[in-house]
Amino acid sequence: MVEDNTLEIWVDADACPVVIKEILFRAAVRTQTQVTLIANQFIKTPSSKYIRSVRVDSGFDVADNEIVKRVKTGDLVITSDIPLADEVLSEGGAALSPRGELFSKDTIKAKLNMRDFMDTLRSSGVHTGGPSGLSQADRKAFADQLDRWLAIKQRQEN
């Protein structure tokens, strides 16, 4: 286990694509960064002191609430959940989507409004379609943003 004052990565793991988890696992070992997957189901992880999985009870936002409870200022959370990203930013953490979008306080409210608008459309019967599959460009964008965060983490710890 790493020291409490080091920055950690938390993963909203129930919906996180396998390819993104694999990128995170390699980065955790390479940079000796603690990565914790939070999910309401068992998540298989490689054997490493830098990678762990925490299973929480099933239920609405149980995993999200656990992440918010554990995140510290400067930690990184991997999620595509806009409300969770907003809470993480409010707690002083950083939030990165599996598509490589780094959420910010400047843009999160607009994203919440768009999410709510799309939700309203869907509930009134309008078919809005879902997100496209994760592309190679998305994977690269994610890996690039992760590398930037890890580089900043390394500088802060040294």
Q: pLDDT digits over 58-107, tens only? A: 988 899 999 999 999 999 999 999 999 999 999 999 999 999 999 998 88
Q: Which residues make Cβ contacts (< 8 Å) with residue 67, sequence separation at least 6? A: 10, 12, 38, 77, 79, 84, 88
Position 3 confidence tier, pLDDT thresholds 50, 70, 90: very low
On the question of pLDDT at 116 being above 80, the answer is no
Least confident range of 4-8, 44-48, 72-76? 4-8
Q: Which residue has the higher pLDDT, 30 or 154?
A: 30
Nearest alpha carbon to residue 100 among 43, 146, 151 = 146
- Integer Cα distance of 53 and 20 in angstroms: 15
Whole-prediction pTM value?
0.85
- Integer Cα distance of 29 and 115 in angstroms: 35
* Alpha helices (H) along the chain: 18-31, 62-70, 82-90, 108-123, 136-157
Burial (0-12, 13-18, 19+ Cβ within 10 Å), 31: middle
- Integer Cα distance of 97 and 131 in angstroms: 13
Neighbours of 33 (CB within 10 A): 23
Domains and CATH numbers, the chain: 9-157 (3.40.50)
- Integer Cα distance of 100 and 81 in angstroms: 13
Contact between 21 and 38 under an 8 Å Cβ cutoff? The reply is: no
- Integer Cα distance of 139 and 23 in angstroms: 9
